[in-house]
Amino acid sequence: MNTLLGNNLKYDLKASLVVFLVALPLCLGIAIASGAPPMSGLIAGIVGGIVVGAFSGSNVSVSGPAAGLTVIVLDSISSMGTFPLFLATLVIAGLMQLALGIAKAGIIGYYFPHAVIKGMLTAIGLILILKQIPHALGYDVDLMGDEAFLQTDDHNTFSEIWYAFKYLSVGAIPIVLVAMGILILFEKPKIQNHKIFGVVPGALWAVLSGIAINSLYGIWKPGWQLTGDHLVSIPVLDDLGQIGDLLTFPDFSMIGESAFWIVAITIAIIGSLETLLSIDAADKLDPQKRITPPSKELVAQGIGNSISGLIGGLPVTAVIVRSSANVASGAKTKMSAIFHGILLMILVLTIPNILNLIPLSCLAAVLFIVGYKLAKPSIFVSIYKNGWDQFIPFIVTVVAILFTDLLVGIGIGMVFGIFFVVKTNFVRSVTLTELNGNYLLQLQKDVSFLNKALLMKNLEKIPSNSKVIINAQKAQFIDHDIREVINDFIASCPDRNISITIQGFKYKIHENI
């Protein structure tokens, strides 16, 4: 066991550093977009990494504040009136998730169609690429945590790119290009396995290059230097004794109000759904194809959300952006998620001034690579080869998420996914095969009145003077309407000189048979 841990440690440590770099601006951006204190996002990231990571059964997923909950959190803080009152609802929401996990409600996670989950992953990849283009160009008006199509400034994903080209910051472009070059170079096995360069992940080299280039601007090209909103911005403590000032504690004074419980239930349900979707997606990315126990994950999320609410953090869910960065960086176990939380806690408190030198444009480069790995052209080709019943739900999910948000897009994709599942089962429930004038009509699984038209269409294909076998051995249920159609066909057989054999029926069929 210790040997296995030691073998995995170097991979998990490198992956945790990449996840830390991805999580840092997202935690801050999501907090600000949610109308909450910036520190609340960092607290949620720390709790998601350390607490949820410790209790989770997932080997590769990473938890933290979720962009999909920003609108809900913003509205909830507004409706509750104060942030401490909102935190109280989060504590209760966490306890609800804990109860759902104990009750094994996580099983619902097994019912998401594969094509829809693949569509979600691909859509997130495309969103990452599109949303980072403005940051790569130094247009940092919107926050890095924003994933919705319609933005708070009345722009959308595509119009924001137009404005980015119109109002770009020239200094950001060399930074993102150098960072991208480093990251692509570090994808090569020779560099990854190098005894010097391979020790530190490419993402850190990319960030260090961004800091160095921006510092050189200050000497040689001051007009290009990135400052203010173009850099990471986290709270700076004068000394560690001020840590208590960063925490906010819940106010339960409205626990008897219906509005309080509506917010708590909403967060519990939406947070649980997003978590189940994300761990299912993360399991599909896991090279070892390990399966996360979904109910255990709800328990972990419930504990995490209650603790996050108690100390001033945002709601926590499993998050696919950080999880995919984790997998792409070579994580082997859940220790990478825990290490990333520890890094957030230690580095945010000890070296905030250095972290605040990081240009957002070089972090955009890191997210470009993560996005590309999720939305490679080969993914579209492979899903297309699986057939239209897989490709249509997949592409609908991708487009729906791109033009709405994660949960709405998943809902639309689910509708199409379920339609094709029902359609496939509908067609396969009644089959007719023919060989040399001999016909076999098979009834599969459940055959309801919905299959009546299909059954009659198949029976009409059987000519006179034929031999027919109607087999129902695999049918667990046969609707009365179906039995009536079969009885009518049997009654017509003598006049048409059709020889008929009935097999496997649990119900009484025509009295002459």
User: Residue 513's pLDDT is what?
Assistant: 47
Q: Which positions ≥6 away from 153 have C-beta within 8 Å?
A: 141, 142
Average pLDDT over residues 20-29: 92
Average pLDDT over residues 478-485: 86
pLDDT in tens, 29-71: 899 888 899 999 999 999 999 999 999 999 999 999 988 788 8
pLDDT in tens, 295-326: 999 999 999 999 999 999 999 999 999 999 99
pLDDT in tens, 148-167: 888 877 889 999 999 999 99
Where along the chain do its domains lie?
10-138+163-374, 376-427, 430-503
Please check the confidence at residue 476 and state whether its pLDDT lies above 90: no
Q: What is the SS3 assignment for 325-362?
A: HHHHCCCCCCHHHHHHHHHHHHHHHHCHHHHCCCEHHH
Tokens coding 486: 């079969």
**Distance between CA atoms of 321 and 409, rounded to whole angstroms?**
16
Q: How many CB atoms lie within 10 A of CB 463?
A: 11
Please check the confidence at residue 170 and state whether its pLDDT lies above 80: yes
Cβ(27)–Cβ(41) below 8 Å? yes
Number of H helices, E strands in the chain: 21, 8
Place of tokens 């029926």: 505
pTM to 2 decimal places: 0.82
**Distance between CA atoms of 500 and 490, rounded to whole angstroms?**
8
**Average pLDDT of the chain, as a whole number:** 90
User: Residue 425's pLDDT is what?
Assistant: 62
C-alpha closest to that of 333 among 279, 300, 370, 286:
286
Parallel, antiparallel, or unpaired: how do β-strands 499-503 and 467-471 relate? parallel
User: Residue 57's pLDDT is what?
Assistant: 95
**Distance between CA atoms of 342 and 479, rounded to whole angstroms?**
59
Helix pair angle (480-496, 452-460), 10° resolution? 10
For the chain, what percent of residues have pLDDT higher than 70?
Answer: 96
Pick the CATH number of 430-503 from 3.40.920.10, 3.40.50.970, 3.30.750.24, 3.40.50.300: 3.30.750.24
Please check the confidence at residue 482 and state whether its pLDDT lies above 90: no
C-alpha closest to that of 150 among 423, 468, 408:
408
Average pLDDT over residues 383-393: 90
**Distance between CA atoms of 499 and 506, rounded to whole angstroms?**
21
User: Residue 426's pLDDT is what?
Assistant: 64
Cβ(129)–Cβ(368) below 8 Å? yes
Please check the confidence at residue 4 and state whether its pLDDT lies above 60: no
Please check the confidence at residue 1 and state whether its pLDDT lies above 50: no
User: Residue 5's pLDDT is what?
Assistant: 55
**Distance between CA atoms of 167 and 203, rounded to whole angstroms?**
27
